[in-house]
Structure formats: structure tokens, C-alpha cells
Structure 1
Amino acid sequence: MTAATLAPAGGARIGTRGLLVAAGLAAVAAVTLFVGARFGMLLAVGLGFGIVLEGLRFGFAGPWRAMILRREPAGMLAQILAIALVAIVSIPLISSHPGEIGGAQAPIGWAMLGGAFVFGAAMQVVLGCGSGTLVNAGSGNPVSLLALPFFAIGSFAGAYHLIWWTDLGALPILTLTGGAGLAVTLAGLAGLAGIVLWRAAPGTRAVPRRLLLAAVLLAALAVANLAIAGQPWGVVYGLGIWAAKGFVALGGDLSGSAFFTAPGSVARVNGSILTDYSSLTDIGLIAGAFGVAAWRRGALAAPLPRYPARAWIATVVAGLALGYSSRLAFGCNVGAFFSGIATGSLHGWAWFVMAFAGAYLGIWLRPRLGLEART
């Protein structure tokens, strides 16, 4: 094949990549112009999340699986590094701006602990947490494309019933604040890193530069999200709002839910998704992952895997479980584990313990549900 033959394909790819960049910039500019600068910046932050997660292959479900099955610690160590970097900025920032900037704070209760366990199992079934499902759907993964709408429906249902579940019993919200809180948080993360390294297989302790870079960039984006929105990075709430809007559009009545009749929820359901912080970053995350996937291969979807029917049914059920359980647990790997610990909430630590335990169940279930691709 000659250089002349290759030129059109190369030129087409350059053109496609140029269109991707132009589309991203145009979307940010449009939101800024018609909605406001803060919302345009949050869309840009969401695009950044998607680009970093997909472009540098940073995730949560996969590294947990690698640690459990093969005792490979690199991905988990990168997660811990990113959380520590965010905590160094966010805990003092929240302490110095009370009422203006808030953390990902939630009570530890029976529903929260059970929800985290179920979420940990479900995310290993579909190999995607909250952010992972969005990223994988954006990059064209068929399992995540199927799971995502059911994730949103489950998130809506979990929010609808949330007050009933929390009434089963919970502790007061417990947070680590100020310099002492930051010191305890960093000590806890160092201890977790030590345990991960202790359990690591010989010769696997090095963290690739790609993951170190991703951890730093992800931390910078999370801090930007906190500063712009006044709240930490979250995923699940936005998905539930999307499903709630669809429910209302179809004639549904939300008056029976204490969660959705609260003033803040009413405003978000009735308002535009372009003024909802979580929705904007979720949209940006999906679009950023799509852009990276299209940049790489010029294709819009991955090949459909040869799974049996029970695998696709399991994907739907797992998607519903992801959404429902994450609302009960007050977040996913992002909203509870990452942002919870990084902003000093003790529920983030409890979430991690229960979700990691649930991951063992999910890893055991995945091949039995037919979700390991045939060779």
C-alpha cells in the first residue's frame, strides 16, 4: 500500500479529530453563553473527567478486580493518591468556607452499609461503577450501554424510597475537619496504601506513569469541581434526576416521595439539566469518553460480545441494582468513596469496606452469569 493510498484515510482521521475538538469547545461555549459561565466551566470539567478516565485508562472497578484476583496494586494505589491530593485541598477549603462549600457528607446506617455491599457486587458484574458505566457507555461498550438507562431508573427508585430506608437507623453525620481531620484522613489513606502494598504480588508494586498522571489530573479536576460548584464531584444524583424527569414527563406523580418533594429536588426536577451540576459533569463525562474513543478508532461502538441471554438479563438487573443501591449508600465509587473520603466524611470509609467486600461476590457471580466473553 502506497503513501498516496494512506493519505486520504489519514486526512479523514485528522478531520474527524478536528471536528471532535471543535464540537467540545462549541458545547462549552454554548452552555456558557446561554446558561452561564459557571455551568460552561462545569461541562468543561466533566469533559475533562471523561477524557482522563478513558484516555489514561483510570478506573475503579477494574483495579479492585485486579487486586482481588491477581494482587496487582497499581490501580488502587493511583486511586488512593488521587483521593489524598484532593483531601489536601478540599478539607481545609471546606473548613474555611462553611456554608459556601460543602463536602460529600452522609450518615452511616444499615441501608448505607447494605447498599454499598450490593453496589460493590453489581459493579463487578458489569465491570463498571458509576463513573465507569458512564465512561464505558460513552466509549461504546455494549454492556454499559445497556446498563446505563437501568442505572438511572434504579437511582430514581432508590431516591424515591430513600427516606424509608434511612429511617431504619443511622448514626449522625460524622466528619473529619480542619488540620486534625486532614491528618487523620491522610494517615488512613497511607495505612490503606500500606495494606494494598503488603498484599501485592511480588514485582507488581510499581505504578505506571500513566496512572500517576491520571491521578494528578483527576484530583485537579475534582478540586475544580468543588470550587466551581461548591460541592464535590458526584455521579449518581444526576442520573436519578434524568429518570425523575422522564417519570414526570410520562405523567408520573412524585408527591408520595419525601425525597422528591424536598425543595431542592423539586427545583432540580423542574429545572434544566444544564443548570444541574451533577447532570452537567455526567454529560461531559460521557461526551469526553466518546471523544477519546472516536479519536482512537474512529468507530462509535465496540463489537457486540457473544454473551448468552442470561448475561444480558443479568446486565439489566445489575444496572438497576447499581442505581438503587448507590442511592441507599449515598454515592458510588465517586460520590461516596472518592469524594466522601476526600472531603472528610467517615461514611466514605465505611462505604469502601462494604463495597470492597461486595466486590468479591460480584467477581464470583460474573462468570456464572455468562459475562466472561467467549474465546
Structure 2
Amino acid sequence: MADVSLVFGRSSGGVTARAGLIGAAVIAVAAVALFVGARFGLMLAIGLGFGVALEGLGFGFAGPWRAMILRREPAGILAQLLAIALVACVAIPLLAAHPDELIGAQAPIGWAMVGGAFVFGAAMQVVLGCGSGTLVNAGSGNPVGLLALPFFAIGSFAGAYHLIWWTGLGALPILALRGTVGLMITLLALALTAMLFWRLGKPGSRRVPARYLLAAAALAGLAVANLVVAGQPWGVVYGLGVWAAKGAVALGADLSGSAFWAAPASVERLNASILTDYTSLTDIGLLAGAFGVAAWRRGGLAQPLQSYPARAWVAAVVAGLLLGYSSRLAFGCNVGAFFSGIATGSLHGWVWFVAAFAGAFVGIRIRPLLGLEVRR
């Protein structure tokens, strides 16, 4: 079992500040539950759990992919696949038993989806953060994450604005694995994928550390809770796009020209509070949870600005825009497409994984050229 003191820091003192962090989280969840609704309070609590698990246990998606590509260390990816398998064991049967109450993260495979996933895979390696990773990095005070996040939101809004045009380039019908047979095929595919990465891994680096196993179990539990409470799988990108769309409307923008944002469901969402949007609540929780863990560590937020060249900051802005735009075309990021897609039986999740992993090779190669590689 992972040593919690190692995960969250051993520093003594700051008891009052830490009690304040816990108290603030409890008050925020209680306030949302009281004034907005119990289900929305639960969603904020789930989002906080995601943030605490990801930041507290040092787990994510972009980093493990980088470790595999550069150093042939498969442990992080193996933990990701384990978490997906755990969710699939619950989610796929639940979806089959409650088709009118629950929906999966299922989307069509098309040219724009594949291209979007490839670009996303490259961009996330530039800033070392996917959708959830950018939120966690920003929440913990990482300057690149803080800069990339608002542009991620803008990109998500713009990608959704143009989404219908892109999907018109050609796409297959939604293909999903359902029921017991679908679950067995999904688990077999995950096992074979894990075996492939294990075999490709460097001897001596194949063991999955305890904190990764703990993170996989925590994320799986939270993802199942997300599905049950919200009626939909864990996602990230849509919430960020809603934030930017609300900002655009507040500034007087007319979104009637977009088939996506002018759709009745989107109009209803834009007219409602973000505290009634499940994805927004988990995104807010991710930010706050990562902030809380970093603050808990006393000094975790004190991340001085690196002496990056100007081109690095420009790259962070461009990568943020590309992350948001491409993830909308790809119907999600590592969370909404890869993690939740595969876990709910969507074949587009597998195609997304292959395309994004290929893009990651490109992003890893260009990151040093952009001045974002910190030499240690």
C-alpha cells in the first residue's frame, strides 16, 4: 500500500490551514447540495475526489505515455488499463440493464475524430497535460497549465462550434460493445493491450508501484460513481467548452450560426448555471482538489516561473487551443474518449487511443524545440 505521508507530504505544522482546506471543501459540497441539489453536491464531491487522487498520487495520462515512449516504462499505462477494466466490469452491465437512465461515452469513428485524436496526442505532450492533466496542473499552480487552461476552454468552444461541419467529412455509425459479450471482448482487448505494453517495456521497469494501483482503484470507483450519479460517464472537455461559450454569450456573441451551440440542449445548458452541469462540476472539483493537495503540502503551490523562452509561452497558448479544438473533433480527451469510451464499450475509444498515442510521439519530439524541456 502506498505510504500516504509520501504521497501528500510529510511536512509538519499548518494544522489550522489544512483543517481550513477540509472545511472549505465540505462547506462547498454542502452549499451546492443545499442550494442546487443533492445530486449536484455529490458531483462536486466526486470531482474533488478526482483532483485529490490524480494530484495526490502523482497519476495522470500524459506522463505515463511519455515514460513508455521515451524510457519503455509501462507501469503508468498498465495502471490506466487496469482502471478502465475495473470501470468496464460495472459500467457495461449497468448500461445494458438501464438503457433509458444511463448513457455511455459512445461516438462515431470518422476522419475528423481520428485526426483530432492525433493532434490532441501531440499537443498534450507539448504541455504535459491532457484534459484532466491540464486542470490538475493549473490547480496545483503549474504555470504552463495555468496559461494553457483558458485557451483549452476557448479551443473546446470553437471545436464544438465547427463540429457538425467536421463530422460531415465522413463517419461510421456509432459502434459499441454491449452486454456480457461486449464486456468479455473489452476485457480481453484490455488484457492483450496490457500484455503488449508489458512485453515492450524495459525489463526491471514493468512492476506497477502501489500508488499507481491505488490511483487506478480510486479513479475506477469515482468513475463508476460519476456514471451512477450523473447518468453519464466521466468527461472533461464539454464542461470547459461551456465555460467559454458562456463567456462568449456574456460578451454579446451570437451562437445561432453553430448547429452545436444552437441546438436546444446546448441553449438550455448555456442558460443554466454551471452548477447544474455535471461535467462543469467535476472540472471545478478537479481544479479545487489539485489545489487542495498542493496547498496541503505546504509550498506545493509555490512553483516559480521557469526561465522559458518566449516561444515556449506561445507554444503553451497554441497547444492549449489545439487541445480544446482537437478534443471536440475527437469526441473527448484521454478521459472522455479513451478512459470512459473504452470503459463503456465504445469502439471509438480504441481508435482514439491508437491515433492519440501516435500523435504523442510527435509531441514528445517537438517539445524540446519549443523550449519547454527543463534540463535537470
Q: Does the alignment pair 1:201 with 2:212?
A: no
Q: Give distance in 2, aligned partners of 1:102 and 1:197.
A: 32
Spell out the pairing of 1:1-375 with structure 2 (5 A cutoff): 10-11=12-13, 13-298=14-299, 300-374=301-375
Q: Give distance in 1, aligned partners of 2:12 and 2:297.
A: 12
Q: Give distance in 1, aligned partners of 2:55 and 2:301.
A: 14
Task: Using the TM superposition, give the Cα deviation of residue 259 of structure 1 relative to its aligned residue in structure 2, in angstroms.
Answer: 0.2
Aligned CA distance change for structure 1 residues 299 and 85 (closer, same or farther; 3 Å): closer
Amino acid at match of 1:147: A
Q: Give distance in 2, aligned partners of 1:305 and 1:230.
A: 42
Q: Give distance in 2, aligned partners of 1:301 and 1:276.
A: 31
- The DSSP-based 3-state class of the residue aligned with 1:322 is helix
8 Å Cα contact 1:47-1:288 kept in structure 2: yes
Question: What is aligned with 2:8?
Answer: none
- The DSSP-based 3-state class of the residue aligned with 1:297 is coil
Question: What is aligned with 2:3?
Answer: none
8 Å Cα contact 2:121-2:355 kept in structure 1: yes
- The DSSP-based 3-state class of the residue aligned with 1:16 is helix
* Residues 61-90 of structure 1: per-residue CA shift (max 9 Å, x gap): 000000000000110000000000000000
* Residues 154-190 of structure 1: per-residue CA shift (max 9 Å, x gap): 0000000000000000000000000000000000000
8 Å Cα contact 2:157-2:240 kept in structure 1: yes
8 Å Cα contact 2:85-2:187 kept in structure 1: yes
* Residues 220-251 of structure 1: per-residue CA shift (max 9 Å, x gap): 00000000000000000000000000000000
Task: Using the TM superposition, give the Cα deviation of residue 263 of structure 1 relative to its aligned residue in structure 2, in angstroms.
Answer: 1.2
Q: Give distance in 2, aligned partners of 1:10 and 1:360.
A: 41
Q: Give distance in 2, aligned partners of 1:354 and 1:77.
A: 18
Q: Give distance in 1, aligned partners of 2:193 and 2:271.
A: 42
Task: Using the TM superposition, give the Cα deviation of residue 10 of structure 1 relative to its aligned residue in structure 2, in angstroms.
Answer: 4.9
Q: Give distance in 1, aligned partners of 2:166 and 2:41.
A: 36
Q: Give distance in 2, aligned partners of 1:188 and 1:272.
A: 40
Question: What is aligned with 1:4?
Answer: none
8 Å Cα contact 1:112-1:328 kept in structure 2: yes
Amino acid at match of 2:83: A
Task: Using the TM superposition, give the Cα deviation of residue 302 of structure 1 relative to its aligned residue in structure 2, in angstroms.
Answer: 1.1
Aligned CA distance change for structure 1 residues 99 and 301 (closer, same or farther; 3 Å): farther
* Residues 124-168 of structure 1: per-residue CA shift (max 9 Å, x gap): 000000000000000000000000000000000000000000000
- The DSSP-based 3-state class of the residue aligned with 2:206 is coil
* Residues 311-369 of structure 1: per-residue CA shift (max 9 Å, x gap): 00000000000000000000000000000000000000000000000000000000001
Q: Give distance in 1, aligned partners of 2:74 and 2:12.
A: 38
Q: Give distance in 2, aligned partners of 1:218 and 1:304.
A: 31
Task: Using the TM superposition, give the Cα deviation of residue 264 of structure 1 relative to its aligned residue in structure 2, in angstroms.
Answer: 1.1
8 Å Cα contact 1:307-1:374 kept in structure 2: no
Q: Give distance in 1, aligned partners of 2:100 and 2:158.
A: 29
Amino acid at match of 1:27: A
- The DSSP-based 3-state class of the residue aligned with 2:297 is helix
Aligned CA distance change for structure 1 residues 161 and 17 (closer, same or farther; 3 Å): same
8 Å Cα contact 2:177-2:186 kept in structure 1: yes
Task: Using the TM superposition, give the Cα deviation of residue 298 of structure 1 relative to its aligned residue in structure 2, in angstroms.
Answer: 4.0
Aligned-residue RMSD, C-alpha: 0.9
8 Å Cα contact 2:140-2:300 kept in structure 1: no
Q: Give distance in 1, aligned partners of 2:312 and 2:375.
A: 12
- The DSSP-based 3-state class of the residue aligned with 2:253 is coil
Task: Using the TM superposition, give the Cα deviation of residue 374 of structure 1 relative to its aligned residue in structure 2, in angstroms.
Answer: 4.5
8 Å Cα contact 1:337-1:349 kept in structure 2: yes
8 Å Cα contact 2:44-2:282 kept in structure 1: yes
Q: Give distance in 1, aligned partners of 2:190 and 2:375.
A: 38
